[in-house]
Chain A
Amino acid sequence: MNVLEIRNVRKSFADELVLQDFSIEVPEHTATVLIGASGSGKSTLLRCVNLLDSIDDGSIFLDGMEITDPAVNPDAIRNKIGLVFQAFNLFPHMSVIENIMLAPTRVHNVSKEQARVEALQLLERFGLADKADQYPDRLSGGQQQRVAIIRSIAVRPRVLLLDEVTSALDPVLVNEVLSIVRDLKGDGMTMVLATHEMGFATQVADEVCFLESGRIVERGPAQQVISDPQLSETKEFLKRVHQAGRL
Chain B
Amino acid sequence: MNSGDSPARESASRASSWAPSDREVQRAAARKQQGRRRATVAAVSSIIVLGALVAVVVTSPGWKVVKETFFDVEYGREVLPLVARGLITNIKLTLIASACISVIAMALALARTSRSAAMTPFRILATIYVDVFRGIPLLLVIFLVGFGVPALRLAGVTSNVMVLGTAAVVLTYSAYVAEVLRSGILSVHPSQRAAARSLGLTHSQAMRFVVLPQAIKRVIPPLLNDLVALIKDTGLVSILGVTDAVRAAQIEASRTFNYTPYVVAAILFLMITVPLTRYTDRVLQRSIGKQNAQGVA
Are the CB atoms of B191 and A85 closer together than 8 Å? yes
Contact call B200/A89, Cβ cutoff below 8 A: no
Min CB gap B292→A, angstroms:
5
Is A72 interfacial (CB 8 A cutoff)?
no
Specify which of A79, A93, A137 is in contact with B200 (CB 8 Å cutoff). Answer: A79
Pairwise interchain contact B200-A91, C-beta atoms closer than 8 A = no
Contact A107 B200 (CB under 8 A): yes
Given the interface pairs A75-B202, A137-B291, A138-B293, the reply to whether A89 lies near B209 with Cβ below 8 Å is no
Residues of A within 8 A of B294 (CB): 137
B195 and A79 within 8 A (CB): no
Whether the Cβ atoms of A75 and B201 lie closer than 8 Å is yes
B-facing residues in A96-111 (Cβ within 8 Å):
102-103, 106-108
A82: which B residues are within 8 A, CB to CB? 198-199
Q: Are B290 and A135 within 8 A (Cβ)?
A: yes
Contact with B along A64-88 (1 / 0, CB 8 A): 0000000000011011111101010
Bound form: Cα–Cα A155–B192 in Å: 18
Q: Which residues of B have CB within 8 Å of A89?
A: 191-192, 194-195
Of the candidates A76, A92, A137, the one whose C-beta lies within 8 Å of that of B214 is A92
Confirm or deny: A50 has a beta carbon within 8 angstroms of a beta carbon on chain B. yes
| Chain B residue nearest to A73 in the complex (CB) | B202
**Complexed CA–CA distance, A107 and B197 (Å):** 11
Report the separation of the CA atoms of residues A106 and B197 in the bound assembly, to the nearest whole angstrom. Answer: 12
Report the count of interface residues on A (CB-CB < 8 A). Answer: 28
Q: Which residues of A contact B196 (CB under 8 A)?
A: 91, 102
Nearest Cβ on chain A to B114's Cβ, whole angstroms = 16
List the A side residues contacting B293 at CB < 8 Å: 137-138
Instruction: Tell me the interface secondary structure of chain B in the complex.
Output: helix
Which B-chain residue is minimally distant from A81 (CB atoms)? B198
Most buried by B among A79, A83, A93, A151: A93
Contacts of A138-161 to chain B: CB distance below 8 A: 138, 151-152, 155
B217 within 8 A of A: yes
Q: Which residues of A contact B200 (CB under 8 A)?
A: 75-76, 78-80, 103, 107-108, 155
Contact of A107 among B194, B201, B210 (CB under 8 A): B201
Within A113-154, the residues touching B (CB, 8 Å) are 135, 137-138, 151-152
Do B191 and A87 touch across chains, with their CB atoms under 8 A apart?
A: yes
* Least Cβ–Cβ distance between A188 and chain B, in angstroms: 22
**Would you call A152 and B199 a contact (CB within 8 A)?**
yes
Distance in Å: Cβ of B197 to nearest Cβ of chain A: 6
* A178 to B: closest C-beta gap in Å: 21
Q: A89-B191, A91-B192 are in contact. Are A151 and B291 (CB under 8 A)?
A: no
Is B214's CB under 8 angstroms from A103's CB?
Answer: no
Say yes or no for B241: interface residue by CB 8 A criterion: no
* Least CB separation from B194: chain A residue: A52
- Most-contacted residue by chain A among B200, B214, B293 (CB, 10 A): B200
CB neighbours of B192 from chain A (8 A): 89, 91
Most buried by A among B196, B199, B291, B292: B199
Complex: chain B residue closest to A161, CB-CB? B198
In the assembled complex, the Cα of A83 lies from the Cα of B193 at a distance in Å of 13
Provide the bound-state CA to CA distance between A135 and B291, in Å.
6
B11 to chain A, nearest CB (A): 18
Question: B274-292 CB contact bits vs A (8 Å, 1 = yes)?
Answer: 0000000000000000111
Task: Known A91-B192, A93-B214; judge A155-B291 contact (CB<8 A).
Answer: no
Any A CB within 8 A of the CB of B222: no
Query: With A92-B291, A93-B291, A137-B292 known to touch, is A103 a contact of B194 (CB < 8 Å)?
Result: no
A78: chain B residues at CB < 8 Å are 197-200
Per the bound structure, the CA–CA distance linking A75 and B205 in Å amounts to 11
List 4 A-B pairs, minimum CB-CB distance, nearest first: A79-B200, A89-B195, A103-B199, A83-B198
Cross-chain pairs A/B with CB under 8 angstroms, 20 sampled: A52-B194, A75-B197, A75-B200, A78-B197, A78-B198, A79-B199, A79-B200, A85-B191, A89-B194, A91-B192, A93-B291, A102-B196, A106-B205, A107-B200, A107-B201, A107-B205, A108-B200, A135-B290, A135-B291, A151-B199
- What 11 additional pairs, Cβ within 8 angstroms, besides A92-B291, A93-B217? A78-B197, A85-B191, A85-B198, A91-B214, A102-B201, A103-B201, A106-B205, A107-B201, A137-B293, A138-B293, A155-B200
Please report A residues at the B interface, Cβ cutoff 8 Å.
Answer: 50, 52, 75-76, 78-83, 85, 87, 89-93, 102-103, 106-108, 135, 137-138, 151-152, 155
